[in-house]
Structure 1
Amino acid sequence: MVEGGMKCVKYLIFFFNFIFVISGIALVAMGAVIKGYYDKYLDFLSDDVFSVPVLLIVVGVIIFFVAFMGCCGAIRESYCMTMTFAVLLALIFILELAAGIAAYLLRDEIADTLNKNMNATMQNYGKPDHSGVTKTWDGMQMELDCCGASNYTDWALTDFGRANNSVPDTCCREATSNCGVGMAALPASVAANTIYTRGCRDSVEEQIQSNIVAVGGAGVGIAFLQVLGVILACCLSKSIKKEYETV
């Protein structure tokens, strides 16, 4: 009976590790995609936001090694390897749970961080020694069909737009040279014929917060899946130990 039960648990651990590896691949892919998205807004985000997808990638890679150890421990019926597998799973569970909670807590900081960094970087738009900031703003405004942080009039308060109330040409519905000249001083109803008048901050905030929710949900979901792995590993270890004691 003990041998049959142990064989059943072994097969369950193999199946679990297959699911575990798939979840690791999913974490690495999700972390890489979200990090790539965040990289576009590098000038607007804090290091705390970037740490979340990086942590997902690291955990996803670690999962491969842990799953391999679990399979080896089950095949060799090694009490030591199986218990090590269970301990590592428990540690990853704590790590992912912490990452999920941290991701949700970061949601409250996104709006303040974006508001502060967007307004600060707008002052450097178009300056020769801040070409990265200029590219970030141009890329964001063209991709999201927006203009400025809160709205298009923000550009009138910057060094770039103060001289002639200009907005960047990338604010225009059809981007042509100097199409943004004088637009920041026009009423929204008139300016909207030529440029996008809504700000970029709300769109970026919405997308980042939705990504953070996805990251947090994935981390917590996979973390609780690992509880099953810990239970199975402990059951197998107990069976292995009992078999050794009866030999």
Structure 2
Amino acid sequence: MFGLGLWLRFSSETRGFFDIDLNTQQFVIGVSVLIALGAVILLVAVFGDYGACNENMNGLAVFSCLLAILAVVEIAAGVFAYMRSDEVGEQLAKFYMTVYAQYVDKGDPGLAVTLSMFHNLLHCCGLIGALDILVKKTCPETGIWETLTLPACPTVILNLFESKAPLVMGLFLGTAAMLITALVCCSILMKQIKKSHLSAPMY
């Protein structure tokens, strides 16, 4: 996750996104969150590995605290994403329309890459669907009949977040459940280490 965020931030193909003057900054914010979250998870893994391998109670305590914080954040993020799914969809649709307008105006290759990512990921094309000749080059390559039925991207984005909101929340809550499971395992390990230290013979 950390590596993916860094790649998106500094790759020659996506670096231009951070130089685009947009009213909405969802892509930049998303990548920044990805980098931050990846760094935190990497830090958690380091403390967990250090604490478990060396039977270090302090390392495991820090690991447990970080896990608890991450679990709470995951639950809060899942609930927020579910409750504000329409708002998230609207913001992403606005982001798409802003990129679309600037691409039509400037024809920038970086914007073309952004549109291509949207079009191929969501299987859509432009603001009016397959007949949108202004961004035809960035639309998915499909057969003749399928090309004519490609939907407009803003509609697809809005429908996606409205229909998949429970799934998004489920992903967050599922991740939180795994973190809580790891927290329980860590607590058991800490108790066992403490017990072994107390039962160790004194010299």
CA change 1:237–1:172 in 2 (3 A) is closer
Q: Which residue of 1 aligns with 2:68?
A: 93
Partner SS for 1:126 = helix
- Render the CA deviation track for 1:64-97: whole Å, top value 9, x for unaligned: 32232223333xxxxxx22431232222221243
Higher normalized contact order (CA 8 Å, seq sep 6+, divided by chain length): 1
CA change 1:73–1:194 in 2 (3 A) is closer
Cα distance in 2 for partners of 1:129, 1:167 equals 10
Asked if the contact 1:103–1:212 (Cα under 8 Å) also holds between the matched residues in 2, the reply is yes
Query: Percent identity among equivalent residues?
Result: 15
> Is the aligned partner of 1:137 residue 2:115?
yes
Cα distance in 2 for partners of 1:87, 1:147 equals 48
Q: Which residue of 2 aligns with 1:231?
A: 187
Q: TM-score, normalised by structure 2?
A: 0.62
Asked if the contact 1:92–1:223 (Cα under 8 Å) also holds between the matched residues in 2, the reply is yes
> Is the aligned partner of 1:169 residue 2:146?
no
Q: Which residue of 1 aligns with 2:77?
A: 102
CA change 1:197–1:214 in 2 (3 A) is same
Shift of 1:214: 6.4
Q: Which residue of 2 aligns with 1:58?
A: 39
Structure 2 unpaired stretches of 5+? 9-13
Q: Which has the larger radius of gyration?
A: 1
Structure 1 unpaired stretches of 5+? 1-27, 75-80, 156-165, 176-191
Asked if the contact 2:122–2:156 (Cα under 8 Å) also holds between the matched residues in 1, the reply is yes
CA change 1:145–1:219 in 2 (3 A) is closer
